[in-house]
Structure 1
Amino acid sequence: MQVPPNNHETLGDSIAWGGCTIIYLLGQQLHFELFDFSYQVLNIAEVDSAATGSSNKSAYFSQGWEVLLEAMRKARRLNNHVFSMLKARCPFEDKQACAIKQSGAPLHRIKFENTVSCRESRLDSA
């Protein structure tokens, strides 16, 4: 009896690349990292393991979460790799942006530093 391949065996890392590319091009990487549930769980697990010490296993491991946490770490490493590749190959251009203050009021005219466009090659300027 043959076991059907799972999605990762069929599609590989293409889902992560596609999702991270869309998030990056929309300028939402920081929001993604802030609001992604798995990132929050990993942060809590890391703080908990640091607080209890490396010799004691935390409550997450005693509840059998080690497989889930390892899968989340793997996904975070992949996402970080994709984002770093996108930043290296396609940095954002000089543009105006709007930030939000803690009070909720918009803060206009934030200017990002000028970087090489993704449409220009570094060799063209040499």
Structure 2
Amino acid sequence: MNVEECTEFHRLWSALQFVYCIPVGENEFTVEQLFGEGLHWAGCAMIVLLGQQRRFEALDFCYHILRVQRVDGKDELIKGIPLKRMVDRIRRFQVLNSQIFAVLNKYLKTSDSDSLPVEHVRCFPPPIHQSLAATRPHPGTIYMRADAVLK
């Protein structure tokens, strides 16, 4: 994993989500009020399509803050940002992300074995002595599903 540069989309999305989670002032609009859930759907869809969901869930900045705050339980004002309000927003976004990931995984990653391609596997029998070769039939092509070959 490259720590010096941001070369994976989930890290960029994590930084954007961190900014979204910062509580806004009294006369300011939240990202949800401005754009709805569309930005989250787009970000989560990109993460799932790039196969980075597990990394995102493990390495997200906001999720880390949420876990740390659950352990220490502090409610401080850090650089003008109330920690408790930020953690509440992080938790809401975490639930939203989980719901979006569940929907995307349901429709994008099928576990139906009928949809897997059929592989043509040729089985070669062990050598047979010439005296027995005339009495044994030659095996043909065996058809197997791709998931059976990988197990």
TM-score in terms of structure 1 length: 0.58
Once the two structures are superposed, the pairs formed by residues 75-90 of structure 1 within 5 Å of their partners are 75-90=93-108
Aligned length: 85
In 2: Cα distance, 1:47 partner to 1:5 partner: 30
Does the CA-based 8 Å contact 1:91-1:116 persist in structure 2?
no
Aligned counterpart for 1:68 among listed residues 83, 86, 98 = 86
Identity %: 29
Alignment partner, residue 25 of structure 1: 49
CA RMSD, Structure 1 to Structure 2 (Å): 2.6
Aligned counterpart for 1:46 among listed residues 62, 65, 70 = 70
User: How far is the alpha carbon of 1:84 from its aligned partner?
Assistant: 0.7
In 1: Cα distance, 2:53 partner to 2:70 partner: 21
Structure 1 segments unaligned to the other structure (5+ residues): 49-57, 93-114, 120-126
TM-score in terms of structure 2 length: 0.49
In 2: Cα distance, 1:7 partner to 1:83 partner: 20
User: How far is the alpha carbon of 1:76 from its aligned partner?
Assistant: 0.5
* Secondary structure of 2:51's aligned partner: coil
User: How far is the alpha carbon of 1:5 from its aligned partner?
Assistant: 5.2
* Secondary structure of 2:98's aligned partner: helix
Classify 1:72/1:6 alpha carbon distance in 2 versus 1 (closer, same or farther; 3 Å): closer
In 2: Cα distance, 1:66 partner to 1:87 partner: 31
Structure 2 segments unaligned to the other structure (5+ residues): 1-26, 116-151
In 2: Cα distance, 1:5 partner to 1:65 partner: 19
Which structure is higher in RCO with an 8 Å CA cutoff and minimum separation 6? 2
* Secondary structure of 2:105's aligned partner: helix
